[in-house]
Structure 1
Amino acid sequence: MDAPVLKAGKAREADDRYRAPALDKGLDILELLSDQPRGLTRGEIVKAMGRSASEIYRMLERLVARDYVSRSAEGDRYALTMKLFLLAHRHPPVRRLVTRALPLMDAFARTALQSSHLVVPDREHAIVVAQATCPGNWEFGIRVGTQIDLLATGSGRTLLAFQDPHLTDDAVAGWQENEARLREFTAMAPELESCRNAGYRIGPSQQIRGVDDISVPILSPEGRAIAVLTCPFIQRLDGKAQPGTEEVLALLREVAEKLSLS
């Protein structure tokens, strides 16, 4: 753990050395609004950030002008636009992966009668970048753009099991101020090793009762996870035929192999 601590300390020193207060304010506003689906009034933003009304107003006006933030028709409420989401999906590696993955994920959904989603790492989190839904009358899925926890999801734990150690170090550095998360990460080492040995992970969802997450990595030529494909497996109770867990796992691994880089 010494190296991540040192890395985090150096990062903080660099942060202090290259501060850009105006940029920090703009990013703080974007991060604040990202958790507010209905947006916030200017007064609420000022109160949450502890800054003067005038400097927040100027920053909001620039963010509105650049279309990162929208203002309500009444003029008193601000919310994020889709611009950040669109920029993220224009990032070439992610866009190429999603373009290749979606037809295969759709075919999987039709055969397995289950939904699936694709996640990529984002420091101490992961982001859902694609989803395919099954053709039946019911489904369980997760919205594209959702940020998920590496420690508390099947997709996240599979990423940790297979991803490049440098990316894991970055995630650990982000947890340095949270001892509970560091202990949780350390305690799951045997589970991550088991996942690596098996080449996949199957386990109960940690968010939804009755759902088993089946996760497989999409690998680089070095055998590191560049993404993870997860099927939230739902078992029918009405007696209608559906592929079982092992068959769904085989189908999901076939998709992951096609997407992995040789």
Structure 2
Amino acid sequence: MADRNDDGSDRYRAPALDKGLDILELLANDEEGMSQIAIAKALDRTPNEIYRMLDRLVRRGYLVRTAADRYEITLKLFGMAHRHPPMRRLVSQALPRMRRFAREAQQSLHMVVYDRGSCLVIAQVDAPGYWGLAIRVGSHISLLNTGSGHILLAFADAAERQLMLEEREVMPHEIWPDNLDGRLADVLARGYEMMPSQQTTGVTNISVPLIGPAGTVLAALTCPHIERIDIEDALPKAQVLAMLQAAARDIPFAADGGDQAVPGFSSEGTKA
């Protein structure tokens, strides 16, 4: 990590690297490609300043120069990113904390992300003992009728939520909830969802968001809570909720962004 002066400026500057990154970031947000002159104007530089950088980026495969003399970004960065998929990193860092939750709460737990119109289960930890309720990893579940789906919808911004609903994959026996917008507003305000399962009698879905570095929701953690009558020290749902919120905060991938407050709850996981 580079040191900084007291005024916040970079002590170790790399102008050429900054110039190249500026070009990549600019073209990453452009769908039609840009000419050398347009790139220079957008970055407040002269065409001569960026000529050599454009040439190097083309030669290294990050950009392509079209027949119309425009520059477009290639899929090289996409391929590099997927050599170490973020989901794999997320799961590997979440599983130890998920296992601890399952052991301490004596309940099962799964992690869900949004995937092209539905919720995708990407990790599952069984409750301790010889029985439990588990959802198979790789399963697609409803956006509308699950606690996980409500979390992902509630913590998305308005435009993203609209897109998610437009892409929605209709599941068997799925019902559009009454006053969905109001329900999601409540979920966002309190910071969690707690609802009877609409697939299994006697199960309460307790779901919380996993908030990432940018303050956006990465995934939902859901405990399909079952009232245990076979043990004397079974935990109440409110305590399981607090433990689930603590588990979400403790996952390193989410914690990279610093202390992300969840609406309605203090840093200790208690009602504010």
TM-score scaled by length of structure 1: 0.60
Task: Supply the AA of the counterpart residue of 1:224.
Answer: T
Deviation for aligned residue 1:155: 0.6
> 194, 206, 210: which one pairs with 1:218?
210
Deviation for aligned residue 1:246: 1.2
User: Any conservation in 2 of the 1:123–1:170 contact (CA below 8 Å)?
Assistant: no
Deviation for aligned residue 1:146: 0.3
How has the CA–CA distance of structure 1 residues 96 and 166 changed in structure 2, closer, same or farther, with 3 Å as cutoff?
A: farther
Deviation for aligned residue 1:172: 2.5
CA displacement 1:79-130 (0-9 Å, x = unmatched): xxxxxxxxxx976110010000101000100000000000011132010000
**What is the rounded CA distance, in whole Å, between the counterparts of 2:232 and 2:131 in structure 1?**
13
Task: Supply the AA of the counterpart residue of 1:208.
Answer: T
Aligned position for 2:102:
109
Task: Supply the AA of the counterpart residue of 2:235.
Answer: P
Q: Which has the larger helix fraction? A: 1
**What is the rounded CA distance, in whole Å, between the counterparts of 1:91 and 1:148 in structure 2?**
26
Deviation for aligned residue 1:243: 1.4
Aligned position for 2:236:
244
**What is the rounded CA distance, in whole Å, between the counterparts of 1:133 and 1:253 in structure 2?**
18
User: Any conservation in 1 of the 2:153–2:161 contact (CA below 8 Å)?
Assistant: yes
Aligned position for 1:66:
none
How has the CA–CA distance of structure 1 residues 166 and 93 changed in structure 2, closer, same or farther, with 3 Å as cutoff?
A: farther
**What is the rounded CA distance, in whole Å, between the counterparts of 1:228 and 1:176 in structure 2?**
18
Quote the sequence identity (%).
44
How has the CA–CA distance of structure 1 residues 232 and 100 changed in structure 2, closer, same or farther, with 3 Å as cutoff?
A: same
How has the CA–CA distance of structure 1 residues 124 and 186 changed in structure 2, closer, same or farther, with 3 Å as cutoff?
A: farther
**What is the rounded CA distance, in whole Å, between the counterparts of 1:176 and 1:210 in structure 2?**
26
**What is the rounded CA distance, in whole Å, between the counterparts of 2:125 and 2:199 in structure 1?**
20
How has the CA–CA distance of structure 1 residues 90 and 244 changed in structure 2, closer, same or farther, with 3 Å as cutoff?
A: farther
Aligned position for 1:162:
155
**What is the rounded CA distance, in whole Å, between the counterparts of 1:127 and 1:100 in structure 2?**
18
Provide the aligned length of Structure 1 versus Structure 2: 172
**What is the rounded CA distance, in whole Å, between the counterparts of 1:110 and 1:101 in structure 2?**
14
Q: Which runs of 5+ in 2 are unaligned?
A: 1-81, 258-272
Which one has a bigger Cα radius of gyration?
Answer: 2
User: Any conservation in 1 of the 2:145–2:177 contact (CA below 8 Å)?
Assistant: no
Task: Supply the AA of the counterpart residue of 1:113.
Answer: Q
Deviation for aligned residue 1:245: 0.7
Task: Supply the AA of the counterpart residue of 1:244.
Answer: P
Task: Supply the AA of the counterpart residue of 2:132.
Answer: E
User: Any conservation in 1 of the 2:206–2:224 contact (CA below 8 Å)?
Assistant: yes
**What is the rounded CA distance, in whole Å, between the counterparts of 2:143 and 2:214 in structure 1?**
21
User: Any conservation in 2 of the 1:164–1:225 contact (CA below 8 Å)?
Assistant: no
Task: Supply the AA of the counterpart residue of 2:118.
Answer: H
TM-score scaled by length of structure 2: 0.58
**What is the rounded CA distance, in whole Å, between the counterparts of 1:173 and 1:200 in structure 2?**
24
Aligned position for 1:143:
136
**What is the rounded CA distance, in whole Å, between the counterparts of 1:131 and 1:91 in structure 2?**
21
Aligned position for 1:171:
164
Q: Report the secondary structure of 1:195's partner residue.
A: helix
CA displacement 1:22-71 (0-9 Å, x = unmatched): xxxxxxxxxxxxxxxxxxxxxxxxxxxxxxxxxxxxxxxxxxxxxxxxxx
Structure 2 counterparts to residues 14-53 of structure 1, below 5 A: none
Superposition RMSD in Å: 2.7
**What is the rounded CA distance, in whole Å, between the counterparts of 1:169 and 1:233 in structure 2?**
30
Aligned position for 2:222:
230
Q: Report the secondary structure of 1:184's partner residue.
A: coil
User: Any conservation in 1 of the 2:194–2:207 contact (CA below 8 Å)?
Assistant: yes
How has the CA–CA distance of structure 1 residues 185 and 244 changed in structure 2, closer, same or farther, with 3 Å as cutoff?
A: closer
Aligned position for 2:246:
254
